[in-house]
Amino acid sequence: MFKIIANREVGPGIFQLVLNYDQLPQNPKPGQFFNIKVSQPGSDDPLLRRPFSIFDFDAAEKKVEFIYRVVGKGTKILSELEAETELDVLGPLGTPFSLNENKGNVHLIGGGMGIAPLYYLSKKLKSRNQKVYLGAANQAELEFFAEKFKGLGVELHLAAMEEKLEIKGSALVLWLNYLEKNIPDYVYTCGPEKMLAAVEKEALKNNIGGQLSVEKRMGCGIGVCLSCSCETKAEDESNKRACVEGPVFGLGEVVLSA
């Protein structure tokens, strides 16, 4: 069983969920997710679990953290749960980021809630030569993330759509501004699919390797229902499941809608 230690608002409609666990089948890796049942025992509403990528993990404290935005019925119910509540949680699930330890200069580009998995990733990357580009609607949405990343000692750049931070615009535009004079060895990105498609295009054009994490509407999270199939660019046109072969894919691996 998992027990809620904290579930608090850290930005407008953005919550930090900290869970304490008894045991895990294995320690989660950056990019993996947990599938959480938010309805109370005996309730069928909502029926499906909700997948959340890992924001942070602490094996010594037996703690796993998530950041989520309240967008619908499931996250609304979750946001109202109090400390000490027990939760039915499956995981860790999915394929993690590969950490590519030999890569020198690494860029992390995160948009909106797509920032969440990049924090645990940033912490685990061997290379400390990391430049992190984050974007969201406004400063209030970014504040919590910015404080956390500053604590890691990485080079941090921030952009917001509604107000001027470093620029007024998206994480993508912010990153592109820097890219000309600063080509990285490797990129990691997570956020809206259009942003992923643009980062992928630009990276491949510049012969930069990297990985991205997709967000797909999931059913089961364990690979049985094929709700989250992603088209691939493979010759045999085979599909890959975001929940098993993903959510992390190599650049150029799956078809993204630009």
- Contact predicate 243/220, CB 8 Å: yes
Backbone dihedral region of 89: left (phi > 0), alpha (psi from -120 to 50 degrees) or beta?
beta
| Interface with other proteins in residues 212-231 (CB under 8 A) | 216-220, 222-231
| Using rule CB under 8 A, residue 252 touches other proteins | no
Stretch that binds other proteins, among 142-150, 155-163, 168-176, 233-241 (CB under 8 A): 233-241
Q: Which residues are annotated as a binding site for FAD?
A: 50-53, 67-69, 74-75
CB of 222 to other proteins, least distance (A): 6
Other Cβ atoms within 10 Å of 59 Cβ, number: 10
Handedness of CA 113, 117, 118, 120 (dihedral sign): positive
CB of 218 to other proteins, least distance (A): 8
Element (H, E) at 91: strand 86-93
Q: Which residues are annotated as a binding site for [2Fe-2S] cluster?
A: 220, 225, 228, 243
Given the complex with other proteins, which of 209 and 219 has the nearer CB atom? Answer: 219
Q: Which long-range contacts (CB under 8 A, 24 or more apart) does 219-222 make?
A: 219/48, 221/33, 221/35, 221/49, 221/51, 221/90, 221/93, 221/94, 222/35, 222/90, 222/93
CB of 167 to other proteins, least distance (A): 28
Given the complex with other proteins, which of 204 and 255 has the nearer CB atom? Answer: 255
| Interface with other proteins in residues 9-68 (CB under 8 A) | 25, 37, 44-49
Query: Interface mask (CB under 8 A) for other proteins, residues 123-142, using x and -?
Result: --------------------
| C-alpha to C-alpha distance for 46 and 50, rounded to whole angstroms | 9
Given the complex with other proteins, which of 6 and 77 has the nearer CB atom? Answer: 77
DSSP state of 81: P
Given the complex with other proteins, which of 127 and 227 has the nearer CB atom? Answer: 227
| Interface with other proteins in residues 67-96 (CB under 8 A) | 90
| C-alpha to C-alpha distance for 217 and 97, rounded to whole angstroms | 20
Residues that bind other proteins (CB under 8 A): 25, 37, 44-49, 90, 216-220, 222-231, 237-239, 244
